[in-house]
Amino acid sequence: MASAVFILVTFAADVFAADANTSLNRKEGILKSSTLSMYTKLVSDDPEVPLFNPNYKQRLDSIQKSVPLPYNKYVHNYISIYVARPAQIGRMVGLSKFYFPIYEKIFEENGLPDELKFLSIVESALDPFAVSRSGATGLWQFMYTTAKGYRLTIDNYVDDRRDPIASTSAAALYFKESYLEFGDWLLAIAAYNCGRGAVSRAIEKAGGLKDFWAIRQFLPQETQNYVPAFIAITYMMNCYSQHDIRTIPSLLPELTDVIQVNRFVSLSSVAKAAEIGIEQVEVLNPSYKKQIINGTPTNPKSLVLPVLDKQIYFNLYSALNSTNEEPRIISASNIRSGTADPVYHRVKSGESLSTIANRYRVEVQDIRVWNRLKSSLIVPGQRLKVSSGKSV
């Protein structure tokens, strides 16, 4: 399910190349003291690696719960990277005030360690609109086919990969399945990046050892970095104040209400009636691809809003139940206006399928199907169909 290591791209593009091509299709033992000593020795003896920092190790030991958080040179390097980027970490702390309670509730219901919530930062930097070069989307970076396999809705109006509740529930199921297979949380985390098949093959090459550090050399390069990055970001999110990093508040409120909508309503009309910015409405309701809530009496859809005054709720109720507003798609592009004619796009230099799909609010997989593409490779000047030609 996982794809690009977003926060690593954001924080340290010069440290390693995050390929972003892996997908979810692709867990409690603590490292023995002898193994930890070996990595400690590597850290202190290798002239290219910073000296062992006892504070890092002590803090990691103090915050460890179900998921092992060993300290070694690989983890040390990523902690150093993150410490040097206080603004990014401060923003993650601010965003976590909204997203982490959602994750924690779902993980608790599924009997999972809540430390897994930090992996979403590595995946998407807590951006529900994040899209990798290969089309992996959302907070947990699901690929199209994997998302469908985990019963996430992806259609003309909705992409559940962007929905915090739906996508986290799917991620929780993947973690449970991986832990049942490997019995080790770090291997389950590795599987989230490169897939269970790749982890199984690495275990076989390592002589059957089910230990991430033992099989690390047999895993893809991105996955080799992925687990240390997770441990390092877990450290930072728990110990940021020890590095004089301050929380940067986000646009997202900590308290919200959920309203069931049983008709088509544009997010812009909701924002106007609720007297709040459209940007906040969009980020609270990221799954609606066309800024339209496509609710019906038989299938109402959720609208998430900050807690509002009673009078504003009255105005909002009137807007939601108005018969004057026709279902319409807010966009400059006619692909989102319900046209019955297919829409085409001429590829420009530097464009990818992902950027084109984002522009027209469709899926990479859809563009590939409409154009019978066998891969995601496109070239400047190529003419692509970016709508099916059917009424939306």
| pLDDT tens per residue, range 134-174 | 889 999 999 999 999 999 999 989 999 999 999 999 999 99
Q: What gap in Å lies between CA 348 and CA 174, rounded to an integer?
A: 37
Q: What gap in Å lies between CA 101 and CA 2, rounded to an integer?
A: 21
**Placement of tokens 């441990």 in the chain:** 231
User: Residue 341: pLDDT band by 50, 70, 90 thresholds?
Assistant: low
Q: Are strands 256-261 and 264-266 parallel, antiparallel or unpaired?
A: unpaired
* CATH 3.30.470.10 given to domain 6-243: no
User: Residue 331: pLDDT band by 50, 70, 90 thresholds?
Assistant: very low
pLDDT at 67 over 70: yes
Q: How high does pLDDT run on average in the chain?
A: 82
3-state secondary structure of 256: strand
Q: Are strands 292-294 and 256-261 parallel, antiparallel or unpaired?
A: unpaired
Q: How far is CA 152 from the centre of its chain?
A: 14
pLDDT at 322: 65
Q: Please choose, from the candidates 8, 3, 54, the residue with its C-alpha nearest in 3D space to the C-alpha of residue 228.
A: 8
Q: CA-CA distances (angstroms) from residue 166 to 39, 140, 173, 223, 351?
A: 39, 10, 11, 25, 30
Query: What fold is seen in the domain 336-385?
Result: Membrane-bound Lytic Murein Transglycosylase D; Chain A (3.10.350)
Q: What is the pTM of this model?
A: 0.74
* Mean predicted confidence (pLDDT) in 232-246: 97
Q: How far is CA 283 from the centre of its chain?
A: 14
